[in-house]
Amino acid sequence: MSTLGFALEGAWKVLAAGLILGAGLPVLFALGIRALAWGAGGAAEVSHARPQPIGKVVAYALFAIVVLGVLLGITFIVASGFGKTISFDHLYPVIVDK
């Protein structure tokens, strides 16, 4: 395979991972903000609707997913510093030797 081929192969994988983690997690975070505003009601929303307590629960569940994603990122940085990497072979991430 040519160098350009290798580069494009690497590029689309980075793009896919980037879209899932780099755009997906912020969108979950945005949904969390949306749910939080729905839960707070009043001045938090343009419509000044009544507060919906369930919104807060949904919001914190969404924020928790985002935090897990960030922890995965930190784990990866630390692991690669020690010559390890994270394997996604078993659905859930596992720290393995590089």
Q: Rule CB under 8 A: which residues touch another protein?
A: 2-4, 6-8, 10-11, 13-15, 17-23, 25-27, 29-34, 36-37, 40, 43-47, 66, 70, 73-74, 76-78, 80-83, 85-86
**Residue 20: both structure tokens together:** 């899932």
What is the C-alpha separation between 56 and 61, in angstroms, rounded?
9
Contact by Cβ (8 Å): 52, 34: no
State the nearest-atom distance from the C-beta of 34 to another protein, in Å: 6
CB of 55 to another protein, least distance (A): 11
Query: Two tokens at 31?
Result: 């949904």
Q: Which residue do the tokens 């000044």 mark?
A: 48
In the complex, the smallest distance separating the C-beta of residue 84 from another protein, rounded to whole angstroms, is 9
